[in-house]
Amino acid sequence: MSAEERRAARKPIPQPVPAYLPTSDSSPLVVDRQAYSAIQQVDRTLADEFTLPIRSGRAWTATAGSIVRISTPNGPQVGDLNIWNLHNPRERFWASRTRQLHASHVSTHDRLWSCLPYMRPLLTIVADSLAWYGEDEHGGRVHDLLGTRCDPYIRSVLSGGAQYDFHCHSNLTRAVLPFGLAETDVHDVINLFQATGLDEQGRYCMSPCPAEEGDYIEFLAEQDVLMALSTCPGGDLSLWGFGESSDEEMAKVCRPLKVEVFRLADEKLLERCGWRPAKPAVYKGLHGMVAVEGEGKGAGVN
């Protein structure tokens, strides 16, 4: 049969349902919305704050139960975010699993999950001033998990060997060096404030950032975390393209991002809400392997 015949003969496929749709309110994929709203709305005290200049990167820490707020103080700007367990950088954000568990773009009450063999929430989104955006006329949505960070390697591949040192990958690399991490610790990001989608052929598309002055997203730290943020050199992505616009032109659409870390004024509220720091998945199956026995065991040696 030809490809066309096979396509014509394809049997009807039932409407699929989301593969990881929670089956009950007690699912770890579902947060206690009432509790998380109470936590988000209660008084807080500022523990750390900085403004990240254009085309730069910085890392910071947040203890479990903190609230981290990232905002656009001067208007539209995309931010590329990485997250690690503060005490173990092998545990880091897993963008593709998070995309499967929640959606290609995330918002309030979605969680950002860690990689194997940990598989637990690093952060939960507790507020998102762009939640109204929904789906635009091109199928675009905001806070992107489809794409990854811009990087100087693909830039050189696609632009005839061009050298540029301030892509998000490089900004994140410089950001984590003071914390003892390296380039290989930088991983797939969540693209904050970034509107993206797939076209009719499944190709990745970006639209200009819809954030305005003062837009924000807030996270509750589900464990002690190290976070790193890059102010993308593409700025609000209104001019983005490899070789189509000069870096100088794009610098005009770059703006800073603000980071604030808060502790709850009444930290006992977390406990009263039943909140606990996230625990790793309990799988201990060793993937079916049996550990090799040591000297003498079963070898007939007394």
- Which residues contact Zn ion by CB under 5 A? 150, 168, 232
Task: Spell out the residues 6+ positions from residue 199 whose beta carbon is closer than 8 angstroms to its own.
Answer: 138, 139, 205
Nearer to Zn ion (CB atom), residue 150 or residue 192 = 150
Quick one: 225 or 232, whose CB is closer to Zn ion?
232
Least separation in angstroms between CB 247 and Zn ion:
12
CB 255 within 8 A of CB 233: no
Q: Shortest Cβ distance from residue 237 to Zn ion (Å)?
A: 9
Query: DSSP class of residue 248?
Result: H
Count CB atoms within 10 A of the CB of residue 139: 13
* Angle CA 265–269–273, to nearest 5: 155
Query: By C-beta, is 150 or 228 nearer to Zn ion?
Result: 150
Q: Using an 8 Å Cβ cutoff, are 204 and 144 in contact?
A: no
Q: Closest separation between CB of residue 147 and Zn ion, Å?
A: 9
Based on CB atoms, which residue is closest to Zn ion, 54 or 126? 54
State which residue, 46 or 157, has the beta carbon closest to Zn ion: 157
Residue 146: Cβ within 10 Å count: 18
- Complex with Zn ion: residue 211 or 278, whichever CB lies closer: 211
Burial 211-229 (b: 16+ CB within 10 A, else e): beeebbbbbbbbbbbbbbb
State the nearest-atom distance from the C-beta of 196 to Zn ion, in Å: 12
Question: Which CB atom, from 112 or from 168, has the smaller least distance to Zn ion?
Answer: 168
Minimum distance from CB of 242 to Zn ion (Å)?
12
Residue 50 C-beta: closest distance to Zn ion, Å: 19
Secondary element (H or E) of residue 7: helix 3-9
CB 192 within 8 A of CB 81: yes
Q: What's the closest the beta carbon of residue 11 comes to Zn ion, in angstroms?
A: 43
Helix (H, G, I), strand (E, B) or coil at 97: helix
3-state SS of 29-54 is CCCCHHHHHHHHHCCEEEEEEEEECC
